[in-house]
Structure 1
């Protein structure tokens, strides 16, 4: 559940994370940096943001979290916010999404409301909406070859030209089911309105302590999404044979998986801490996804 409105002393470091190729940011970002510096904040920018003007301090997006910014301003769409969450959530950074995209389900703040929102935040008038994340490890020959985090979902799927893949699902080491399908999705409550929803999964309210496991085009009428507590360990054993499969996180980063690999998912230690103001989850559903319209 989102924290109550509170006055909080933010660390005076703000990271700015931007979507590439947005011409309007050439005008927006210099003004934003000036406002922040006038209000006593040190400003860090990722390289995508620095491409729009001569910024004072620039670093790769993946390194921003190491500076422990108190807040990250994310200018772009939901994809930009997903990338930002993976970069800074371990630092406990508050994330404010400013919508420059089309949907803006997570980046719900319009650009013309940015400065009133910053004034409110500077006075401590905001709500923190913690969102569970997934920590995903790729296990090969008994060893973790990669460990990554995701805010929306972890997907194990077939490659573009392969046939149906074979997966076995385990929850807390208990066998659940064997699937022949295009893929399996493990989604957080935040991700339940993304790929999982399109594959027939349920909508989970963001404060529900659960994950949803959704098969993608399963070869069988009885395979349905499964909702599990977020305290469990989820394992997907990949039985591809000679076929190819792929592991992706938030639809943005990923790697090939081999026959015999195990994809292990648990709740990440740190949530993504989104900043919210007035709209409730169901108001956003109605506005962005046309929830309940006929």
Structure 2
């Protein structure tokens, strides 16, 4: 591997010192390296950190400087091009961005020597239907979440699986998670942790007003449909849907959210030989 593209979260590396050091390190060793030029949200339009059309041809690896959030956005944005990403952790836990600040040079050397492997991570596709018309759609590497926004009232929804009613909930919301996302909001809400390379969909109600509310694990080929129930206090109690914590969409009565496995998958470069269970134990401690 000798052709790299560096994506930087300017909040994490505001003066681009680490970015410049990485570029110089790679070029000094005969590799090609291009830096992304950060743009404002308005300039980015549909992209958070990187426009795939701006990535030069023959790039073999996207190096992401930031936390897991930055890596998630970059991985989604590059999924269609099939270019793998490697995260350099400037965030907190760093389940995905596995390279730490103190071993950047060693990690880059391993890339140059092709001492790595690539994990395929499934993603979710979500569509919001209003009066049978799609009003919004997006993909998620971590999760698709319906939550309340405003007053502290619970919201009502029905869940269908492959067209069959599963249950009706009154709750703070619901999390539909990929295996990668199970260590995020799903974990905080009491959901199970899954092997990140598995192909399953985890549905976890958030603080449901019931005695028998539990997460449910489905196979990758199901279709999850969530129907938003009528809310008499809609003006005080907005309901929103978010993809990986962003791209908020306000939901209305009778809106339906259709969630399936996405056709695209994210490619994550792994250098660490530590098993997922070892990594999980280390991060949790």
Per-residue CA deviation, residues 4-32 of structure 1 (Å, 9 max, x unaligned), is xxxxx67x3x3322222335753221222
Report the counterpart of residue 286 of structure 1 in structure 2.
281
Aligned mates of 1:114, 1:45 — CA distance in 2: 19
Aligned mates of 1:223, 1:216 — CA distance in 2: 9
Secondary structure (helix, strand or coil) at the match of 1:109 reads coil
Equivalent residue for 2:69, pick from 79, 87, 93 = 79
Aligned mates of 2:138, 2:37 — CA distance in 1: 20
Call closer, same or farther: CA 1:91–1:240 in 2, change over 3 Å: farther
Report the counterpart of residue 95 of structure 2 in structure 1.
105
Aligned mates of 2:109, 2:206 — CA distance in 1: 44
Call closer, same or farther: CA 1:46–1:249 in 2, change over 3 Å: farther
In the TM superposition, what is the alpha-carbon distance from 1:61 to its structure 2 partner?
2.6
After TM superposition, list the pairs within 5 Å mapping 1:133-144 onto structure 2.
Answer: 133-144=123-134
In the TM superposition, what is the alpha-carbon distance from 1:210 to its structure 2 partner?
0.8
Per-residue CA deviation, residues 108-166 of structure 1 (Å, 9 max, x unaligned), is 21123222222222222211111111111111111212211111100011113151111
Gapped regions of structure 2 (runs ≥ 5): 41-46
After TM superposition, list the pairs within 5 Å mapping 1:1-294 onto structure 2.
Answer: 12=3, 14-23=4-13, 26-38=16-28, 39-47=30-38, 61-64=49-52, 67=55, 69-161=59-151, 163-242=153-232, 243=234, 244-277=238-271, 278-290=273-285
Per-residue CA deviation, residues 8-67 of structure 1 (Å, 9 max, x unaligned), is x67x3x332222233575322122223344534251404169xxxxxxxxx973413663
> Contact 1:65–1:89 (CA<8 Å) still a contact in 2?
no
Secondary structure (helix, strand or coil) at the match of 1:15 reads strand
Aligned mates of 1:16, 1:130 — CA distance in 2: 21
Per-residue CA deviation, residues 223-273 of structure 1 (Å, 9 max, x unaligned), is 211100011111111114342200011112221111111111111112111
Secondary structure (helix, strand or coil) at the match of 1:107 reads coil
Call closer, same or farther: CA 1:24–1:44 in 2, change over 3 Å: closer
Secondary structure (helix, strand or coil) at the match of 1:169 reads strand
> Contact 1:186–1:214 (CA<8 Å) still a contact in 2?
yes
Gapped regions of structure 1 (runs ≥ 5): 1-8, 50-58
Aligned mates of 1:82, 1:272 — CA distance in 2: 9
Secondary structure (helix, strand or coil) at the match of 2:196 reads coil
Report the counterpart of residue 55 of structure 1 in structure 2.
none
176-185 or 24-33, larger mean C-alpha shift: 24-33
How many residues matched? 271
